Amino acid sequence: MRMSLLVGSVERVGRRTADDVEYCGSLARQLWNSLRALSLALPVVGKRYRWKAAVTQMLQIGVQAFPMVTLMAVCAGLILAMQGASELRRIGAIDLVVELVTIGFTRELGPLLTAIAVSGRSASSFSAEIGTMKVTEEIDALRTMGIDPVEFVLAPKYLAALVVIPCLSIFSNAFGILAGGVFMKIATGMTLGVFLRSVARTLVLRDLLFGLLKSLAFATIIVQVGCLEGLSVKGGPDAVGRSTTAAVVKSTFLVILADVAFTTLFYLTGGV
């Protein structure tokens, strides 16, 4: 009895591991195919109409997410500033709040908050859109017409995300830091000049670039996971619902996992 339980547990772990490895393999294969198809979505050198689709996606992923991302950044900026101020005040270093918010946002919060917001909005929408296309045989129709679904559906989304998610991250950085400044103005009466000098002193190109590099990785995760979940839909509308949930959960989890990996790399290379 005990032996069979043990065998059952080992089997479950083995099967789960095999499923996860298979999922990573599918993700890697899809990423490779979409990277190859990416140039076809570029303006001038790409195929007709793909760029138009990419611009539409940029509006949907980027412009429509802008209010939410900036509002989240303002809130997080205020939270970080208030939490930091309550501790830093005790050691008489409240002026360091601006530094804290600037470093916190450029290195970490800007790209991460943006990715989480976009993951919730767009990974689910990609998965629902492609899942519905799968259920209604539209993906099959594309394939029978000799049109690669990865090139037609995924590449414009990927290109759009690679362009707009770093842009949103920059806005998120700016609004988060600005919120920190507003707090300092209210709490300590800090002038705009002092605030800007503090920001300029703390802002390092390396941090900004590393943040943008992270947001490119996050964009990749969000699009690839969202689309893979959509393309994996089998069955009817309930499967679309499940894939939508899975897309958000998996992409958010992988974004945070990737962030840990990047921050560790940053730490080990002496950046932190």
Q: What does the binding site for other proteins look like in residue numbers (CB under 8 A)?
A: 47-49, 133, 136-138, 140-141, 143-147
Least spacing, CB of residue 109 vs other proteins, in Å:
35
Least spacing, CB of residue 27 vs other proteins, in Å:
22
Residue 256 CA: distances (Å) to CA of 85, 111, 144, 162: 26, 11, 38, 18
- Kindly tell me which of 70 and 244 has the beta carbon lying closer to other proteins: 244
- Kindly tell me which of 58 and 113 has the beta carbon lying closer to other proteins: 58
Contact yes or no for 113/245 (Cβ under 8 A): no
Distance (Å, whole) CA 25 – CA 43:
30
> Around 50, how many Cα atoms within 13 Å sit in the side-chain half-sphere?
25
Least spacing, CB of residue 32 vs other proteins, in Å:
15
Least spacing, CB of residue 153 vs other proteins, in Å:
10
- Kindly tell me which of 146 and 193 has the beta carbon lying closer to other proteins: 146
Is residue 216 classed exposed, middle or buried when 0-12, 13-18 and 19+ CB atoms within 10 A define those classes? Answer: middle
Least spacing, CB of residue 106 vs other proteins, in Å:
37
**What is the radius of gyration, based on Cα positions, of the chain?**
22
Least spacing, CB of residue 224 vs other proteins, in Å:
21
- Kindly tell me which of 71 and 147 has the beta carbon lying closer to other proteins: 147
Least spacing, CB of residue 20 vs other proteins, in Å:
20
Residues 157, 160, 164, 166, Cα dihedral to 10°: 80
Q: Taking Cα atoms as reference points, which of 252, 243, 244 lies closest to residue 221?
A: 252
- Kindly tell me which of 26 and 202 has the beta carbon lying closer to other proteins: 26
- Kindly tell me which of 19 and 140 has the beta carbon lying closer to other proteins: 140
- 3-class DSSP string for 179-247: HHHHHHHHHHCCCHHHHHHHHHHHCCHHHHHHHHHHHHHHHHHHHHHHHHHHHCCCCCHHHHHHHHHHH
Indicate if the alpha-carbon torsion angle 71, 124, 250, 155 is positive or negative: negative
- Kindly tell me which of 49 and 253 has the beta carbon lying closer to other proteins: 49
Distance (Å, whole) CA 192 – CA 207:
23
